[in-house]
Amino acid sequence: MYSTAFLDIPALATAGGSVQLPGSKSISNRVLLLAALSRGTTTIHDLLDSDDTRVMLDALRALGCGVEDDGQATHIAGLGDTRPMAAQTLFLGNAGTAMRPLTAALALLGGEYTLDGVARMRERPIGDLVDALRQLGCRIDYLGSEGYPPLRINHAEGVPTLELDQPIRVRGDVSSQFLTALLMALPLVADTQEVAVEVVGELISRPYIAITLALLDRFGIAVENENWQRFRIPAGSRYQSPGSIHVEADASSASYFIALGSIAPSAVGKKGIKIQGVGLDSIQGDIRFVDAARAMGAEISGGPNWLQVERGAWPLKAIDLDCNHIPDAAMTLAVMALYADGPTVLRNIASWRVKETDRIAAMAAELRKLGAGVEEGPDFLRIIPPAAAQAWRAASIHTYDDHRVAMCFSLAAFNPAALPVRIEDPRCVAKTFPDYFETLFSVVQAAAQVPVICIDGPTASGKGTLAAQVAQRLGYRLLDSGAIYRVAGLAARDAGLDIAPANAVTIANLARSMALRFDGAQVLLAGVDVSDAIRTEQAGMDASRVSALPEVRAAVIDVQLAFRSLPGLVADGRDMGTVIFPSALLKVYLTASAAQRAERRHQQLLARGLDAKIADLRADLEARDARDMARSVAPLKPAQDALVLDNSELTIEQAVDQVLAWWQQRQPFAQSASG
């Protein structure tokens, strides 16, 4: 997962391959609560691992549920007839799928609880649910603004006598989560009599209620649905664990890859995008996004647990659609509309106003940044795509701490102007799809060369530390070129190969197949940390010997070039900018005085329990500089277009800031406040 301040996505051109989606957030948190309310232990397979599910799991543990994760499945020991641990303060982040159902369930279980969340949660309405619970006789107080969290449930002496003879009335036109919360809580008090819920006004997001009803049935509660206006829970209803249950992959998350297949030409040798984990028979309402994508021209087929998507009509066809049935996935349509042949209208989306952010306002603002015309209403958006490639603009997308804003706008990188897109605060996708960007990058190809920053320089100039921190700040891949020969030598020694010309081809093939990764100061070979093993005197000698073999040098160049992958690369060495990546967008030649480098090397040796005279170290560095500059193959020198950075008097933070400032100057959104 990317935890950088921003993530720059280069212009993208094609896509192809297969993706495995994470479990559905809507299903995951419903299943967790239902398992907690049930008798018996429920084994949950394919549970989503995200911020929202972690919030729910933490709350269940605090309430006294047994929670165990064995790496294969999550096991929830339900409360059954046991009352939850009372006098709890539960922090529920920005998870509406935890706040609303837990409020209703705890109000009917008895106890004293405070429920709170992040600042945005305190702006998300819950008044209609509280009003419905107060109809029953529940005592719930607002601790801040009327109608919004935080809440206190005051049932320290047990649940008061409840009014169950008349239907509980709840508004249906603000959030379907209010009705879901009641439907999941009311079986707790339906032991001796039927309980009914009546919807006031139009029920929005019916497909999410369909998910709730289907899952209630799995846990032994057969709710009678009277035309989506009244719901009856039979007398004698009691939760019973189904024993084992599988969570479908998230259909809302599928929308981004359905859109990807609809927008992007297939990569060479590929046939669009295959989506694993959710199919056309999904119980999730957002699977109907398939119909909307087809209406825009996508070619989509599928089966019980998969979808295949290819680009069909191009440009996409503009649509005018009532999106009540796909409220979350409809956000993806707003970005698809950028590629349409005319204005697209998304209607009946008033619920966007009370989600993680005001999504109507957010989408309108960010679409305009890209060059679209947008008309915004209380419950609709009209999107007019940029008139031509020249009308597109490079944009830094503000994500409002909203996962869906971040994910859907990543698709704007396929714009015909070949402009990059910046996603601010990419970590917000952790709410539902922590590895979204990694998954996206695994199936897309850049329109041009992937961005590279080269940091070359003499020994002990600090280029390795600088490169690692620049890569971390940008979320780019890291290449420590100087370590590759050392790792190749170590791999040859571990394989029992004599480092000699007779084994050059074998060692070269071994080098090409190395599963090598650099993570800050760590060097990982096939997942094993070999950082210390390659810093020994023997490893240095082996590196010198393998680097003298032409076949190995050619193999190492192949390895270095293969590190160039989305979203970008920071490479450090002695010839990265001159030989390996001559077209890199930014080349930095890092240097420092011999005296300063000798002092740094001395401190490194002392940290490892070794000692040496600074004068000897300085003489050795100066001699090595002379050899490196005089060698016939890839001599040490700045590239003609390199920027020289003398860090003799700079801290590492100052050096990093300077490199990032140079990098920002090369970006089309260099003046963005996010940088």
Give the 3-state secondary structure of 638-652. CCCCCEEEECCCCCH
Active-site entry in 51, 286, 328, 425: 328
Q: How many helices (H) and strands (E) does the chain have?
A: 20, 33
> Is residue 380 within a helix (H) or strand (E), and if so which, with residue range?
strand 380-384
- Residues whose CB is less than 8 angstroms from the CB of residue 154 and which lie 6 or more positions away in sequence, other chains included: 112, 139, 140, 141
Tell me the backbone φ, ψ of residue 215, rounded to 5 degrees. Answer: -75, -35
Tell me the backbone φ, ψ of residue 457, rounded to 5 degrees. Answer: 160, 170
Contact 248, 211 (CB under 8 A): no
Residues in the chain: 675
Question: In Å, what is the CA distance from 528 to each residue of 438, 523, 524?
Answer: 22, 8, 5
Whose tokens are 């270095």? That residue is: 560
Any catalytic annotation for residue 657? no
Q: What tokens appear for 644 in the block?
A: 């020289």
Q: Which of 259, 614, 188 is nearest to 436 (CA)?
A: 259
- CA–CA–CA angle 592, 596, 602 (5° rounding): 130
**Alpha-carbon 298 to chain mean position:** 25
Paired residues of 509 in beta bridges: none
Q: What tokens appear for 27 in the block?
A: 């299903």
Paired residues of 154 in beta bridges: 112
3-class secondary structure, 38: coil
Whole-angstrom distance, CA of residue 6 vs CA of residue 422: 7
3-class secondary structure, 354: helix
Residue 363 CB coordination number (10 Å): 29
Q: What tokens appear for 567 in the block?
A: 């979203």
**Alpha-carbon 70 to chain mean position:** 24
Whole-angstrom distance, CA of residue 26 vs CA of residue 24: 5
Tell me the backbone φ, ψ of residue 37, rounded to 5 degrees. Answer: -85, -10
Q: What tokens appear for 33 in the block?
A: 């609560």
Q: What tokens appear for 634 in the block?
A: 């890839």
Whole-angstrom distance, CA of residue 476 vs CA of residue 473: 8
Q: What tokens appear for 146 in the block?
A: 């009327």
Paired residues of 140 in beta bridges: 153
Between β-strands 74-77 and 41-45, what pairing exists: parallel, antiparallel or unpaired?
Answer: antiparallel
User: What is the C-alpha radius of gyration for the chain, rounded to an integer number of angstroms?
Assistant: 29
Q: What tokens appear for 272 in the block?
A: 């669009």
Tell me the backbone φ, ψ of residue 296, rounded to 5 degrees. Answer: -85, -5
Supply the DSSP symbol for 587: E
Catalytic residues: 328
